[in-house]
């Protein structure tokens, strides 16, 4: 276990904002979590960080920042149809996707090029291009700091939904994820529902008529689309979408549509109420559209800004502090609310606000 004090978090967050942690601990093996547990009380402030691509430090962290950097991908079960993989939390997400498509497996290809670690993927049920992690997550191994014991949680217990899970709601960092198990298919299971993905594949591949796309080709297409839309954090520091896409009742959506005929909206399956009345059904709005219509796209206040190419991405043009970015985000939230009556919720974890 590597431990140090008063460490800058700037290299460990994709917004590249300055913040220091009282104590910084790095572990390379899951069993070191037991040692950490012995050294820490369960209610001591602890923040588990993966690659820092979905956090915003608004202040210094007055506790321990822990990075779990264990490695390893192993096959734990297999038949003719599918394969169960156990993957260490510290593995890179995109490298896992690359490993899976190179082995001709199906399930992770639409989630290519999402930054971050495997251990963080269940936290907000990462999703992109028509697929969410819940689609192929089997179970999660966690250390429960409150009970001081190891648990294996099933998909149901982890309670995943759009950009949410039991873990994301756990602000006290009760659970530390050490391993994630995925169930991947050996048979082709392409998901090409996202507008733009099938178009891209048709325009860019010279396949013979009738041949299926491979999971590798789909991952490549998703990566190319992502590179064309989102700023690269190593060039323009950011955390991807800063707000979740808001969900509103159909009645509110119809009211907005009368005023703004071009407003995009997508029907959402409601798990709480599978048979809602028409007016009660949920519609997902596009936060990027609302922010762009309100005039914030490309806006800059000092070094804190909104990406010129994508209104949902807040960026650090150089030396913005977390507080600068958070103040601008709050101004956007309040403007969007006053114009459209819609509340935007941040997607990254805001630390210290
Ligand atoms: P961190 O930012 O380090 O942590 C995020 C949260 O997870 C924190 O609350 C942290 O405490 C917790 N956490 C991390 N590891 C553990 C662990 N082992 N145990 C317990 N808690 C833990 N997300 C999407 O869903 N879809 C996208 O398409 C997408 N695109 C992105 C594009 C860009 C350019 C960027 C910068 C981000 C994007 N994101 C996207 C957000 C981000 O990549 C994901 O949320 C990712 O899973 C975060 O991984 P991380 O290791 O960086 O987590
Ligand atoms: N739009 C605008 N202006 C903009 C950007 C977007 O009007 O500047 C509107 C357009 O109508 C566009 C629509 O928003 O068609 C959707 O845009 P996009 O396809 O880029 O997707 P998104 O809703 O902005 C979501 C996720 C992304 C994910 C993509 C692809 C959320 C909060 N974001 O973005 O996830 O990669 O879809 O599936 O759900 C992330 O979570 O960090 C993230 C990047």
* pLDDT over 90 percentage in the chain: 87
- Residue 182 CB-half CA count within 13 A: 28
Domain range summary for the chain, segments of one domain joined by +: 2-68, 73-185, 249-285
Q: Are the C-beta atoms of residues 268 and 280 closer than 8 Å to each other?
A: no
Rounded distance between C-alpha atoms, residue 182 and residue 131, angstroms:
14
Model confidence band, residue 272 (pLDDT cutoffs 50, 70, 90): low
* pLDDT tens-place string over residues 71-116: 999 999 999 999 999 999 999 999 999 999 999 999 999 999 999 9
Model confidence band, residue 207 (pLDDT cutoffs 50, 70, 90): low
* pLDDT tens-place string over residues 122-150: 999 999 999 999 999 999 999 999 999 99
Residue environment code for 15-48, b if the CB has 16+ CB neighbours within 10 A, otherwise e:
bbbebbbebbbbbebbebbeebbeebeeeeebbb
Question: When comparing pLDDT for 39 and 168, which is higher?
Answer: 168
Rounded distance between C-alpha atoms, residue 242 and residue 332, angstroms:
11
Nearest ligand to the CA of 54 is: 1
Q: How far is the CA of 206 from the centre of ligand 1 (A)?
A: 35
Q: Are the C-beta atoms of residues 282 and 268 closer than 8 Å to each other?
A: yes
215 annotated active-site: no
pTM: 0.96
**Helices (H) then strands (E): counts for the chain:** 8, 20
Q: Look at residue 193 in the predicted model and tell me its pLDDT.
A: 93
Of 67, 145, 163, 349, the catalytic one is 163
* pLDDT tens-place string over residues 4-39: 999 999 999 999 999 999 999 999 998 888 888 777
Please give the full DSSP string across 198-218, using - where no structure is assigned.
Answer: HHHHHHH--PPTTPPPPHHHH
May I ask the CATH class of domain 73-185? alpha beta
Nearest ligand to the CA of 65 is: 1
CATH of domain 2-68: 3.30.43.10
Decide: helix, strand or coil at residue 124: coil
Rounded distance between C-alpha atoms, residue 275 and residue 80, angstroms:
37
Probe target for ligand 2 pocket from 288, 294, 315, 332, with the most ligand atoms within 8 Å of CB: 288
Rounded distance between C-alpha atoms, residue 142 and residue 318, angstroms:
37
């Amino acid at each position: 276990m590597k431990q140090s004090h008063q460490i800058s978090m700037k290299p460990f967050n994709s917004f590249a904002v300055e913040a220091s942690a009282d104590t910084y601990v790095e572990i390379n093996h899951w069993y070191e979590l037991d040692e950490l547990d012995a050294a820490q009380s369960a209610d001591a402030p602890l923040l588990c960080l993966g690659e820092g691509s979905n956090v915003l430090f608004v202040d210094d962290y007055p506790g321990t920042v822990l990075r779990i950097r264990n490695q390893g991908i192993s096959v734990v079960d297999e038949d003719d149809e599918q394969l169960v993989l156990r993957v260490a939390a510290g593995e890179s997400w995109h490298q896992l996707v690359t490993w899976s498509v190179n082995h001709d497996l199906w399930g992770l290809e639409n989630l290519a090029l999402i930054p971050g670690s495997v251990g963080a993927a269940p936290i907000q049920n990462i999703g992109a291009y028509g697929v969410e992690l819940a689609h192929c997550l089997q179970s999660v191994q966690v250390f429960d700091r409150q009970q001081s014991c190891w648990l294996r949680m099933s998909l149901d217990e982890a309670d995943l939904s759009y950009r949410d899970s039991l873990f994301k709601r756990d602000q006290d960092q009760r659970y530390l994820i050490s391993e994630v198990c995925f169930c991947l298919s050996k048979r082709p299971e392409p998901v090409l529902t996202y507008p733009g993905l099938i178009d891209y594949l048709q325009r860019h591949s010279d396949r013979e008529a009738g041949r299926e796309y491979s999971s590798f080709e789909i991952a490549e297409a998703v990566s190319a689309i992502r590179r064309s839309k989102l700023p690269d954090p190593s060039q323009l520091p950011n955390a991807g979408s800063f707000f979740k896409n808001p969900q509103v009742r159909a009645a509110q959506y119809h009211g907005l549509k009368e005023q703004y005929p071009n407003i995009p909206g997508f029907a959402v399956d409601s798990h709480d109420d599978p048979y809602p009345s028409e007016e009660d059904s949920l519609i997902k709005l596009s936060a990027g559209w609302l922010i762009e219509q309100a005039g914030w796209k490309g806006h800059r206040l000092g070094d804190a800004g909104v990406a010129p190419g994508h209104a949902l991405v807040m960026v650090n043009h150089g030396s913005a502090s977390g507080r600068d970015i958070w103040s601008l985000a709050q101004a956007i939230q309040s403007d969007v609310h006053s114009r459209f009556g819609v509340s935007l919720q941040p997607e990254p974890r805001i630390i210290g606000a």
